[in-house]
Amino acid sequence: MADKILKKIYVKVWRQNNPSEKGRFETYEVENVSQGSSFLEMIDILNDQLIREGKDPIAFDHDCREGICGMCSMYINGHAHGPDSEITTCQLHMRRFEDGETITVEPWRAGAFPVIKDLIVDRTAFDKIQQAGGYVSVNTGGVPDGNTIPISQVDAEEAIDAAACIGCGACVATCKNSSAMLFVAAKVSQFAKLPQGKVEAKRRAKAMVAKMDELGFGGCTNTGACELACPKNISISHIARLNREYLKAKFSD
């Protein structure tokens, strides 16, 4: 499997030194990138070059590089996580790009995700939404045997479909309203499918939605862009379930 080499590409990337500074685009040339390299490995090469030239390397978030931690987050050529569907940036490979191409790279843009530096944004708003109720209130110990809570295979599978969300924020970044509905819906939906979280279902839906609004995420207008951008294929049908859960909770007030 000898990989082809991209002799030269141009990377046009957003540079912003800190939250208060105004950002700008800079374009850099990168030579000899193997098409078998991942997108982040290409940035590693670029950064190596920048450091050697005495310049500040591009700051970006990443950790697992396996598509599961949800850290790596950038807009590539106008798409969250790049042009391929159902993958994160770290899973994007350079075979997706042509020799001589200019690749535009930007951070997530959403009011609730302020830029910290270059491509790194602050997504703590997501944690705050989860803290508002994205859990089952159960203490450690004193729980029943796992098999005393039977769950149908279909429900378990649907719960996993929802639970697969990696909290990357691509849905928010892609949405024209910067709505966090898909993210919130994924969590609410996971618990709605399981018997464990039922007792506090109403409180959960209301609290999470209220927190989301409070933190400055926009409303959902059912455009569906989030679903297309989601690396984990979280379906907007979960938003419908969230809406049902939320209405149920509202009406029982």
Rule CB under 6 A: which of 213-242 touch ligand SF4? 229-232, 234
124 lines the binding site for another protein (CB under 8 A):
yes
Among 150, 251, 252, 253, binds another protein (CB under 8 A): 150
Which range of residues in 15-23, 54-62, 160-168, 213-221 is near ligand SF4 by CB under 6 A?
160-168
Structure tokens at 195: 């018997």
Rule CB under 6 A: which of 29-88 touch ligand FES? 62-65, 67-72, 88
Please state the three-class secondary structure of the chain as a single string. Answer: CCCCEEEEEEEEEEECCCCCCCCEEEEEEEEEEECCCEHHHHHHHHHHHHHHCCCCCCCCCCCCCCCCCCCCCCEECCEECCCCCCCCHHHCEHHHCCCCCEEEEECCCCCCCCEEECCEECCHHHHHHHHCCCCCCCCCCCCCCHHHCCCCHHHHHHHHHHHCCCCCCHHHHHCCCCECHHHHHHHHHHHHCCCCCHHHHHHHHHHHHHHHHHCCCECCCCCCHHHHHCCCCCCCHHHHHHHHHHHHHHHCC
170 lines the binding site for ligand SF4 (CB under 6 A):
yes
Site string for ligand FES, 86-105 (x = CB under 6 A): --xxx---------------
Give the nearest distance from C-beta 159 to ligand FES in angstroms.
22
175 lines the binding site for ligand SF4 (CB under 6 A):
no
127 lines the binding site for another protein (CB under 8 A):
yes
38 lines the binding site for another protein (CB under 8 A):
yes
Partner from ligand FES, another protein, ligand SF4, none binding residue 54, C-beta < 5-8 Å depending on class: another protein
Report the residue number, 142 or 251, with the smaller CB distance to another protein. Answer: 142
Structure tokens at 198: 């039922």
215 lines the binding site for ligand FES (CB under 6 A):
no
44 lines the binding site for another protein (CB under 8 A):
yes
Report the residue number, 122 or 219, with the smaller CB distance to another protein. Answer: 122
C-beta atoms surrounding 54 within 10 Å:
6
- Residue 31 backbone dihedrals phi, psi, to 5 degrees: -110, 155
Give the nearest distance from C-beta 222 to another protein in angstroms.
27
Q: Which residues pair with 8 in a beta bridge?
A: 31
The site for ligand FES (CB under 6 A) is made up of 62-65, 67-72, 88-90
The site for ligand SF4 (CB under 6 A) is made up of 165-171, 182-183, 186, 229-232, 234
